[in-house]
Amino acid sequence: MTKQVFPVNSEHALGSVGLFLLIVVGKLAERAQGPQQTLAGRVSGWMARRAIDVIAVMGWLVDRLPEPAVMPSHPPRATRAPVGVRT
């Protein structure tokens, strides 16, 4: 018997990951769009732009994941009456 200390809701977990990635993009945007005078600045700007692209692609892929199948907690009710029973 396992007991979860912190029950995880998948919607809340995805929301937290999304919020974290939004903060990351915000931090990378300054480096990606700011003036880049040196080679190191150009390289870090290029890497920041590619990181933002990767985050955007990950979001695009997550949006296109199929909905999870929801299994009923109990079997479906019989649709036909038992033999010999009048309704």
> What pLDDT, on a 0 to 100 scale, did the predictor assign at position 62?
81
**Average confidence (pLDDT) over 16-39:** 88
Domain around 44: 39-65
Any domain includes 11: no
pLDDT class of 5 with cuts at 50, 70, 90: low
Asked if pLDDT for residue 1 goes beyond 60, the answer is: no
- Tens of pLDDT, residues 48-69: 999 999 999 988 888 887 877 6
Any domain includes 75: no
Please name which of 47, 51, 46 lies closest in space to residue 21, comparing C-alpha atoms. 51
Asked if pLDDT for residue 12 goes beyond 90, the answer is: no
Asked if pLDDT for residue 38 goes beyond 90, the answer is: yes
Place of tokens 């296109």: 64
Please name which of 26, 28, 80, 66 lies closest in space to residue 49, comparing C-alpha atoms. 28
Total domains in the chain come to 1
Any domain includes 51: yes
Any domain includes 52: yes
Q: What six digits make up the tokens of 6? A: 């912190």
Place of tokens 């299994």: 71
Any domain includes 59: yes
Report which residue type is found at 9.
Answer: N
